[in-house]
Amino acid sequence: MCPEIQFHIFRFGTFNLFVGVGLVFWVCATLWQLKRMGIRGDKELLILSAIPVSLLAVVAMACLSDIAFRWRHFWADPSRVGATFYGGLLGFIGFWWLYARWKGLDFAFLMNVFLPAVAIAQAFGRIGCFLGGCCYGRPISAWGVMYPEGAPAFVQYGHCPVAPVQLMESAWLFCVGIALFSLIAFRCRYAWYFILVGLGRFGFEFLRGDVRSDVWTSISLSPAQCISLLLVGYGLVLLIRRRIGQCREKSPVGGKAEKEAQP
């Protein structure tokens, strides 16, 4: 059972609390970046007005992906449908890609604005996962944590310490978000987000001890690891295309000079 924080007559589940903190951070970081880049008028209104709908797409795809990957658990108890981050990420990217084409916005620019804050928002969400007891790790003896009776990890492993993989991934995501904001060029944030998040998730999946999927059981990799490999590959393709574009800019006989995405 997820622990709660009580404030007078109000109670907040710690998982929902940290997800909310991550969401608030993402919205505030987006507003700050748009203001810092001088986005005003109709373009600012187009972006801000679509944010609530994009979040609905995130929730819908996150839940649908959980049903698709763990359909046996869903049919056994439909009231306990969960959510997957990669499903939500797909919904988020898919929505903004369609919206950018519809409204004539620069999709790459939007992703370069959004994704660094998404990494930090996910880091807060992983802390919520740790406190809520989901996404727990495999049994480990040296530096594990032990969940109380009734928690999913206790039900599966009993009085056995498990790896705090949620906190490990949270620390990695905080580092990724900070690096994207401060060390990586704006035009390359989009690509490096996929590479760094994909590599981290691929590695941390080996420490996961919860039920990952009811499909793809014939292969040793989890669905999240397969998706992570695709994300890393896509990020590398984006970097290669960017590099080729820069070489064309410098070539005296090169084609049309590539310009950095601007608002």
Q: Is the pLDDT of residue 49 over 50?
A: yes
156/168 Cα distance (integer angstroms): 21
* Angle, helix 107-132 to helix 85-103, in steps of 10 degrees: 160
Spatial CB neighbours of 205, under 8 Å, sequence gap ≥ 6: 212, 221, 222, 224, 225, 228
**What per-residue confidence (pLDDT) applies to 91?**
93
198-208 mean pLDDT: 94
* Residue 144 to residues 40, 153, 160, 163, 170, Cα–Cα distance (Å): 49, 12, 8, 5, 16
101/162 Cα distance (integer angstroms): 45
At 229, the pLDDT band (50, 70, 90 cuts) reads very high
43/99 Cα distance (integer angstroms): 13
3/251 Cα distance (integer angstroms): 60
Check residue 187 and report its DSSP letter.
G
- In terms of C-beta distances under 8 Å and separation of at least 24 residues, what long-range contacts does 231-236 make, across chains too? 231/194, 231/195, 231/197, 231/198, 232/194, 232/195, 232/198, 232/199, 232/202, 234/194, 235/191, 235/192, 235/193, 235/194, 235/195, 235/198, 236/191, 236/195
Task: Supply the pTM of this predicted model.
Answer: 0.85
Q: Is the pLDDT of residue 154 over 60?
A: yes
Locus of tokens 């939500």: 88
- DSSP string for residues in 114-137: HHHHHHHHHHHHHHHHHHHT-S-B
Share of residues in the chain with pLDDT > 90 (%): 52
Domain boundaries, the chain: 13-250
Locus of tokens 């990952």: 212
